[in-house]
Amino acid sequence: MNFKFTSQSLDEKRTVVFMSHESENPIVPYFARSLDKEADGTIAKAFNENNFRGEENKNLTISMPQSTKISRIIFQGLGPQDTLNRERLLEAGGALARALTKEYRCEINLLEFQIKSFSPEEIANDLALGIMMKSWSFRRYKTASEANNISCSDVSKLEEVSFVVPNPTKAEDLFVNTRAIEEGISLSRNLSMEPPNILYPRSMALILKDLERFGVLVSILEKEKIEELGMGALLGVSRGSSRDPQVVIMEWNGNPNTNEVIAFVGKGVTFDSGGLNLKSWSGMKEMKYDMTGAATVSGLIRTLARRKSQVNAVGIVGLVENMPSGTSQRPGDIVRTMSGKTVEVLNTDAEGRLVLADVLWYAVEFYKPKLVIDLATLTGAISVALGDYYAGLFSNSEDFSKKLIKTGLEVGEKVWLLPLSKYYDKMLEGRISDLQNISDLQGAGSILAAQFLQNFVKNTPWIHLDIAGVAWTERNRPLYDKGPTGFGVHLLNRFVQSYFE
């Protein structure tokens, strides 16, 4: 999709979009009144008949008389002016994407739309991101639509959007960031959507290698190297699979003036069958997206590189497939992690924490980062607590967690602080090993998983995001249709921008 920024309306027959704040009575915004005169009151009539008040996520489409230069006008509601935030702007973009699916081109006119909290150029960029996010679709395996050009009803025809704003250069500068975020989100969503027969540790590692074309340094650790490093917990998970594990390291060195680095670690279980503790069919059917933590870390690194972020960041992902077979690890097996700690694997389906134990240790040991953030579809329990809207946040740093919570509210990717406590350590103490990977007791599933991870970060400031609930959505939402959301790319890009550049 193409986005243009100009300071003047196009001089051609076109569809024009205007923004509308919520007001008690349906009224035509002042800047559309001269148009309304030209069109003999068509606009006012439509406002009245449809009782359109500028409510959020609503829009009003009006067909204009032949005599005018404008074929259709769309008014996009933004909700109440005093509480307008970026999430609502993104969602307005999402609503527009739906309203514009049958248009090839359109103009979004923000020339006379002014509010205190956002410049028209910022509004244009948030709308653009919202449009792109809602328009994302995954059609690689739809042969009919590709070959015969049969249109799918849910696929947008929109090719070009022109924003009319007072300062097009400023809008274009901001758009470098917007486009980079969109690319990162799409990379994450594409990887999560790929079927597990196509996307497995090796094939995913090769896709990530491709980030080198944006200046990212990518190294792949093969099985032999992983063995040499002593990542026994990660290796244990992958034992049942015929596919070798991979650890991929993506370095973006954007700030040569410092050695300081921030590390992002991702769970990359390309398929989680549960292993010998096999999942039920309904629990297993979408377990291809158990690599979303890794996908989002990769998307983030791409975003940082694409906008040439002045930060040193490293993304490290542990890629494995969790399968049952004659070579699988068994409940009761004891593995030795890279840290030296031993773990009794009492449930082979609690595998994410085993993978992360070794990758987190690797990150803190070799990079000594200022902060390490891991992302993982770690527990089903987190969606019991928080559903598909808030991610669970666990941290040993009050300072960094406050900052991330604040950033979440700013961009509309929200995180909720849940507790860690020494109290829970008792529940993970092993009988004949240092640790066990699950507790003998019921309850606190997400906390226990986080508490387990804490054993492998030393004293490094650390944030764990359990994204099992938010990584995938089952319903159509303002910015997503059913499927992967790319949650975390926008959030962490903004967090890096605000606190590390």
Q: Hey, which residues between 324 and 363 contact Zn ion (CB under 5 A)?
A: 349, 351-352
CA distances from 113 to 45, 103, 189 (A): 22, 23, 33
Using DSSP, state whether 164 is helix, strand or coil: strand
Residues 6+ apart with CB under 8 A from 477: none
Question: Does residue 170 have an active-site annotation?
Answer: no
Q: What are 232's two structure tokens?
A: 């026994």
Q: Hey, which residues between 287 and 306 contact Zn ion (CB under 5 A)?
A: 290
Taking CB under 6 A as the rule, does residue 351 contact ligand BES? yes
Minimum CB–partner distance for residue 280 and ligand BES (Å): 11
Among 321, 349, 358, 413, binds ligand BES (CB under 6 A): 349
Minimum CB–partner distance for residue 377 and ligand BES (Å): 4
Query: For every residue of 261-325, which 3-state class applies, written as one string?
Result: CEEEEEEEEEEECCCCCCCCHHHHCCHHHHHHHHHHHHHHHHHHHHCCCCCEEEEEEEEEEECCC
- Write the DSSP symbol of residue 31: G
Strands 472-473, 483-484: pairing kind: antiparallel
Minimum CB–partner distance for residue 277 and Zn ion (Å): 8
d(CA 454, CA 246): 23
Instruction: Using the minimum distance from each CB to Zn ion, give the nearer residue, 349 or 413.
Output: 349
Taking a C-beta distance cutoff of 8 angstroms, is the pair 58, 52 a contact? yes
Taking CB under 6 A as the rule, does residue 249 contact ligand BES? no
Question: Does residue 279 have an active-site annotation?
Answer: yes
Binding partner selected for residue 312 from ligand BES, Zn ion, none, CB under the kind-specific 5 to 8 Å limit? none
**Residue count at the site for Zn ion (CB under 5 A)?**
6
The amino acid at 94: G
> What element of type H or E holds 444?
none
d(CA 110, CA 119): 10
Which entry of 105, 170, 209, 279 is annotated as an active-site residue?
A: 279
Using DSSP, state whether 63 is helix, strand or coil: strand
Instruction: Using the minimum distance from each CB to ligand BES, give the nearer residue, 184 or 445.
Output: 445
Residues 6+ apart with CB under 8 A from 47: 26, 27, 28, 60, 75
Taking CB under 6 A as the rule, does residue 304 contact ligand BES? no
Instruction: Using the minimum distance from each CB to ligand BES, give the nearer residue, 246 or 322.
Output: 322
Minimum CB–partner distance for residue 396 and Zn ion (Å): 23
CA distances from 56 to 22, 61, 125 (A): 8, 15, 18
Taking a C-beta distance cutoff of 8 angstroms, is the pair 347, 438 a contact? yes
Going residue by residue from 88 to 127, which x/- string records binding to ligand BES, judged by CB under 6 A?
----------------------------------------
Going residue by residue from 438 to 467, which x/- string records binding to ligand BES, judged by CB under 6 A?
x------x----------------------
Taking CB under 5 A as the rule, does residue 87 contact Zn ion? no
**Residue count at the site for ligand BES (CB under 6 A)?**
14
Instruction: Using the minimum distance from each CB to ligand BES, give the nearer residue, 64 or 468.
Output: 468
**Angle subtended by helix axes 168-193 and 292-306, to nearest 10:** 150
Taking CB under 6 A as the rule, does residue 389 contact ligand BES? no
d(CA 300, CA 371): 16
d(CA 275, CA 351): 9
Taking CB under 6 A as the rule, does residue 194 contact ligand BES? no
Instruction: Using the minimum distance from each CB to ligand BES, give the nearer residue, 39 or 350.
Output: 350
Among 26, 230, 380, 430, binds ligand BES (CB under 6 A): 380
Instruction: Using the minimum distance from each CB to Zn ion, give the nearer residue, 15 or 292.
Output: 292
**Cα atoms in the 13 Å half-sphere on the side-chain side of 315:** 32
Which entry of 58, 353, 414, 494 is annotated as an active-site residue?
A: 353
Taking CB under 6 A as the rule, does residue 468 contact ligand BES? yes
Minimum CB–partner distance for residue 404 and ligand BES (Å): 21
Q: Nearest 10 degrees: CA dihedral of 327, 448, 468, 231?
A: -40
Taking CB under 6 A as the rule, does residue 328 contact ligand BES? no
Among 76, 238, 296, 377, binds ligand BES (CB under 6 A): 377
Residue nearest to ligand BES (CB): 380
The amino acid at 310: Q
Taking CB under 6 A as the rule, does residue 347 contact ligand BES? yes
Among 251, 272, 358, 374, binds ligand BES (CB under 6 A): 272
Residues 6+ apart with CB under 8 A from 473: 388, 480, 482, 483, 485
Minimum CB–partner distance for residue 474 and ligand BES (Å): 11
| Residues in contact with ligand BES by the rule CB under 6 A | 272, 290, 347, 349-352, 377, 379-381, 438, 445, 468
| Residues in contact with Zn ion by the rule CB under 5 A | 269, 272, 290, 349, 351-352
Active site residues: 279, 353
